[in-house]
A and B are shown apart, each in its own frame.
Chain A
């Protein structure tokens, strides 16, 4: 069954139908249909399967704020680096976080300098690390959306049951519906429809996104991640746009319930309260952050290590600049947070540009030497474009070398389903 969701033959036939439908719509609109894929894993999938290229000219796919590493603001990166510098502390984190550059350092550099930074696959692994090493202070970096927050919540509860005293979490968990509200409320995003993040919806339920259709008149489809899932969702979404139907449709029913996973929702609300949180590229978004409840204060790294503030935020480093509200378009700003100079990850995350629009892309910013987080994370739009899509490199030779490494060549021109 699962194999059939990856069936290349079916995929090719579905692409033909999607293209037909997109062509009809493009003709009517007099321009390409613009859709936003909110989730970083969709960004990766539409690039990796060659779909982005196969639909080029008919459907323009914009990336959104759905890569958790990318939207973690510079200030949090500095805080995480500050934790890693504390003596006796081990920072446990997902792999993508390790290379995100801060103003002057990164976890990777701190590790090279002797800090203990451990890559883990699961918060459960971080908890196990603390159990196995009672003399270490393990801080798990709780980054992610509704899919990862309940897992961290379970780990906090387990730590409490075990009476562990050497485990804590730095919660930079974020919620997707509020940022979608902020994105749409700003009014500068021009898209015809949304491809909604399937696994976030598995937790929240598809209904949590119904406001997109009801309040903003834009249709959306909850999509899965296999080629067949994505093509099916695209087909439905194009149909909704053609019909002027502004509903939010659950196109991933084999995983997503309309009301979501109630147990997971309860785990989140048991351990976290919602508050305002800063997002890279968006500034502070009301009610979009999850913070550890007082009841579990001893597992909250911000309270446990209250003295360990991010030092380098106080003054800009050589390669950074302050980005204030007045310097960005659309009313969003990152306020006091430092961003790499010239980096346009913020605009990218708001769907205003595509990676090749950034002057750093492919030149000063590559996966080997990333300037901004969207090039670091495997789910980042810049990394996905660089790996699969770029046909016209800014630096001759760069992409040729890369395409060999990625084993995909010019993904645009190949059917890779």
Chain B
């Protein structure tokens, strides 16, 4: 269970957003990224459940993701761009 080589080896700082598929132990979860699964430590984020999203760095989750926040930001952009299109029309 490993990421692609480039991600595994070269990039220590690269955070990878990943979905939790299984929580076999209290401190460890199995995540999936692009079809690849890996065990990651939950020591820094507390309890998670399958379906949650995590930001993973070097084998550990460093934060739980609030995808609703990203949705909200995208909605603002959509509004801005739609408004502009309407003006042009």
Interface contact A263-B43, CB-CB below 8 Å: yes
Majority secondary structure of chain B interface residues (helix, strand, loop or mixed): mixed
**Selected interface stretch from A115-123, A321-329, A334-342:** A115-123
Which residue from A39, A263, A379 sits with its C-beta under 8 Å from B46? A263
List, in ascending order, chain A residues with CB within 8 A of B43's CB. Answer: 154, 263, 267
Given A122-B58, A151-B57, the answer on whether A261 and B11 have CB atoms closer than 8 Å is: no
Q: Quick check: is B44 within 8 A (CB to CB) of the other chain?
A: yes
Interface contact B67-A147, CB-CB below 8 Å: no
CB distance from B33 to the nearest CB of A (A): 10
Interface contact B65-A41, CB-CB below 8 Å: no
CB distance from B70 to the nearest CB of A (A): 4
Which residue from A13, A122, A147, A150 sits with its C-beta under 8 Å from B13? A147
Q: Quick check: is A232 within 8 A (CB to CB) of the other chain?
A: yes
How far is it, in angstroms, between the C-alpha of A199 and the C-alpha of B71 when the chains are bound?
19
List, in ascending order, chain A residues with CB within 8 A of B17's CB. Answer: 2
Interface contact A264-B62, CB-CB below 8 Å: yes
**Chain A residue nearest in CB terms to B78:** A10
List, in ascending order, chain B residues with CB within 8 A of A148's CB. Answer: 12-13, 57-58
Interface contact B70-A254, CB-CB below 8 Å: yes
Interface contact A199-B9, CB-CB below 8 Å: no
Interface contact A202-B58, CB-CB below 8 Å: no
Q: Quick check: is A306 within 8 A (CB to CB) of the other chain?
A: no
**Chain A residue nearest in CB terms to B12:** A94
Q: Quick check: is A96 within 8 A (CB to CB) of the other chain?
A: yes
> Using a CB-CB cutoff of 8 Å, which residues 69-124 of chain A contact chain B?
69, 94-96, 119, 121-124
Q: Quick check: is A24 within 8 A (CB to CB) of the other chain?
A: no
CB distance from B82 to the nearest CB of A (A): 10
Interface contact A95-B10, CB-CB below 8 Å: yes
Q: Quick check: is B14 within 8 A (CB to CB) of the other chain?
A: yes
List, in ascending order, chain B residues with CB within 8 A of A345's CB. Answer: none
CB distance from B88 to the nearest CB of A (A): 12
How far is it, in angstroms, between the C-alpha of A95 and the C-alpha of B68 when the chains are bound?
35
Q: Quick check: is A283 within 8 A (CB to CB) of the other chain?
A: no
Majority secondary structure of chain A interface residues (helix, strand, loop or mixed): helix
Interface contact B67-A17, CB-CB below 8 Å: no
Interface contact B62-A202, CB-CB below 8 Å: yes
> Using a CB-CB cutoff of 8 Å, which residues 1-38 of chain B contact chain A?
2-3, 8-15, 17
How far is it, in angstroms, between the C-alpha of A126 and the C-alpha of B55 when the chains are bound?
21
> Using a CB-CB cutoff of 8 Å, which residues 250-302 of chain A contact chain B?
253-257, 261, 263-264, 267
Which residue from B53, B59, B69, B80 sits with its C-beta under 8 Å from A253? B69
Interface contact A232-B9, CB-CB below 8 Å: no
Interface contact B67-A124, CB-CB below 8 Å: no
**Chain A residue nearest in CB terms to B11:** A378
**Chain B residue nearest in CB terms to A256:** B63
Interface contact B59-A124, CB-CB below 8 Å: yes
How far is it, in angstroms, between the C-alpha of A264 and the C-alpha of B55 when the chains are bound?
13
How far is it, in angstroms, between the C-alpha of A128 and the C-alpha of B41 when the chains are bound?
13
Interface contact A199-B62, CB-CB below 8 Å: yes
Interface residues of A (CB under 8 A from B): 1-2, 4-5, 10, 13-14, 17, 39-41, 67-69, 94-96, 119, 121-125, 143-145, 147-148, 150-151, 154, 198-199, 202-203, 225, 228, 232, 253-257, 261, 263-264, 267, 378-379
* 12 A-B pairs in the complex with CB atoms less than 8 angstroms apart: A4-B74, A39-B13, A94-B58, A95-B10, A121-B58, A123-B58, A147-B13, A147-B57, A202-B62, A263-B46, A267-B43, A379-B11
Nearest 7 Cβ contacts at the A-B interface: A122-B59, A95-B9, A94-B12, A254-B69, A254-B70, A253-B69, A122-B58
- For the A-B complex with A68-B13, A199-B15, A202-B55 known, give 19 more contacts whose Cβ atoms are closer than 8 Å: A10-B77, A17-B81, A95-B12, A121-B3, A123-B58, A123-B59, A124-B60, A125-B59, A144-B58, A147-B57, A150-B62, A151-B44, A199-B13, A202-B15, A202-B62, A228-B77, A254-B66, A255-B63, A379-B13
